[in-house]
Structure 1
Amino acid sequence: MKNMLLMSSSKYKDTDYLIHTIPWLRQFLSAYQGKSIAFVPYAGVRQSYDEYEKKVRQVLSTLNMEIISVHRSAKHAEIIERADVIAIGGGNTFCLLKGLYDNHLLEPIRAKVNAGTPYFGWSAGVVAAGRSIMTTNDMPITYPPSFNALNLFPHQINPHFISGKMQGHNGESREERLQEFLTVNPTALIYALPEGTALHIQGDQARVLGERAVLRFSGKMSMDTLATETTFHY
């Protein structure tokens, strides 16, 4: 059964890096103590893969799991194939997806997660779990061969969702950007995850985690509010 934890962000309010996610991760990974996590660092543009791996290892050390970045093997897919859990970190979604294509990881990850290997990610690692990266917030600083992503969650995801406009901001709001996407892709569904929220996917069901609701947009910006602890079929 598919088992995924899709977290909007690495920080929430004034918490340090990934700290607010640790209670979720402890529960999510409770049956995997002492096992290995394959970490995909491709989104981390402003840090080396070594630095990104080290940062994640330090923060998640209390989980009692071995965290190995895929770049530790000449063939990155070998780390994926040996891992008990797969994790993808945040950063730039275009760099992440290009790395997944360049290193031929889309199909190995997809196959393992569909077969029951737990998957967790945050920010860009959540967008990449969806159908495509077309609802990311990031700039296209590089060119993946396609916008098609892992499609483990068969809809669009928009993390770090903030409603409305800041005072003095004259560009489009997040709702307006998502409305543009739905105008061009009218049959799509978008799940907007505010900071500090997550979706726990088990099989064909999802449960909302966090202190705030997740929003689901469809059609001409029809909106459903999915309150925390709500469970739904997706």
Structure 2
Amino acid sequence: MKTIIIASTSTLHGSGSLEYLLEELSTFFKATDEILFIPYARPGGISHEEYTAKVSEPFAKINKTVKGIHEFDSPTEAVKQAKAIFVGGGNTFVLVSQLYKHGLIEVIKEAVSNGTPYLGTSAGSNICGLTMNTTNDMPIVYPPSFKTFGFVPFNLNPHYLDPDPSSTHMGETRETRIQEFHKFNPQPVVGLREGSWLHVSGSTITLKGSLDARIFEQDKVPYEVPTGADLSNLK
């Protein structure tokens, strides 16, 4: 049975890394003391070693150790043997390129389908949808495909920002970009605001956190769903 947390972000303004999620993660990862971390998204271009050391700090507070996938001779075997998986944020194009390069897309899908707990934040959440096409990131590399895990039957837009009526910025809003996406693609998009996450348990998908989410469906007016909402029928 799939057990997944799809979080908009790892860090809220004014708090430490994963601090807002630690209580939830303590329960989510209760069956293991070690988490396999996939640092391929490399936020700011930092090294895999630096990124792994950074995320190890908050997990130490809940008595979990973190080991980076780059430390293993075989990334595929690392996933197959993992008791839990965390894919962090950064650049989604870089992340997806590396997952395809190492042959990990199907391996991770199989592991998660068989019950390995999966945590994604930001880019690591983008890839939980059908495709990565609703990422906010720059296409600094070109992955072999935009298709991703499809753990949920829709796309994600982590870090979703509402239009600011007082802003003098004349560029496109997130809502406009998602509407552009829907001119060519049929699947719904869930705009996840900072501090919100989806909890997937089997076929049940529940919005959690303190904020509502914004739902975009092709040829429909966008609408809000409250925290606690069941999104299992969104497809």
1:129 aligns with 128
Q: CA deviation at 1:67?
A: 1.3
Look up the equivalent residue of 1:21 and give its one-letter code.
Answer: L
Quick one: distance in 2 between partners of 1:43 and 1:3? Answer: 22
CA apart distance, 1:224: 3.3
TM-score w.r.t. the length of structure 2 is 0.94
Q: Which moved more, 1:70-79 or 1:155-164?
A: 70-79
Q: Could you tell me how far 1:27 is from its partner in structure 2?
A: 2.2
- 1:231 match: secondary structure: coil
Q: In the alignment, what sits opposite 1:28?
A: 28
Number of the residue aligned with 1:13: 13
Deviation at 1:60, TM superposition (A): 1.0
Code of the residue aligned with 1:179 in structure 2: it is: Q
In structure 2, distance between residues paired with 1:202 and 1:148: 22
Identity of aligned residues (%): 34
Residue equivalent to 1:75: 74
Query: Is this contact kept in 2: 1:93–1:138, CA < 8 A?
Result: yes
Q: Deviations over 1:29-81 (max 9, x none)?
A: 23x242x2111100014211001111111121122223111101122112111
Structure 2: give runs of 5+ residues left out of the alignment. Answer: none
Q: Which amino acid aligns with 1:8?
A: S
Consecutive unaligned residues of structure 1, counting only runs of 5 or more, are none
* Contact 2:32–2:83 (Cα < 8 Å) also in 1: no
Structure 2 distance, partners of 1:222, 1:11, is 30
Q: Are 2:107 and 1:108 equivalent residues in the alignment?
A: yes
* CA shift for structure 1 position 15: 1.1
Give the TM-score taking structure 1 as reference length: 0.94
Q: 2:57 corresponds to which residue?
A: 58
Do the aligned residues in 2 keep the contact of 1:76 with 1:105 (CA within 8 Å)?
A: yes
> Does the Cα contact within 8 Å between 1:89 and 1:121 map onto a contact in 2?
yes
Could you say what secondary structure the match of 1:42 adopts? coil
Q: Which runs of 4+ in 1 moved over 6 A?
A: none
Distance 1:232 1:17 in 2: 27
Q: In structure 2, how many angstroms separate the alpha carbons of the residues matched to 1:78 and 1:205?
A: 29
- Measured on the aligned residues, the alpha-carbon RMSD in Å equals 1.3
Q: Which residue of 2 aligns with 1:43?
A: 41
In the alignment, structure 1 residue 173 sits paired with structure 2 residue 156: no
Q: Letter of the aligned partner of 1:41 in structure 2?
A: P
* Equivalence for 1:91: 90
| Number of residue-to-residue matches in the alignment | 231
* Partner Cα distance (1:33, 1:151) in 2: 25
* Alpha-carbon distance in 2 for matches of 1:70, 1:4: 19
Amino acid of the structure 1 residue aligned with 2:207: V
Q: Per-residue displacement from partner, 1:69-127 (whole Å, max 9, x unpaired)?
A: 11011221121111101110000000000010001111110001011111011000000
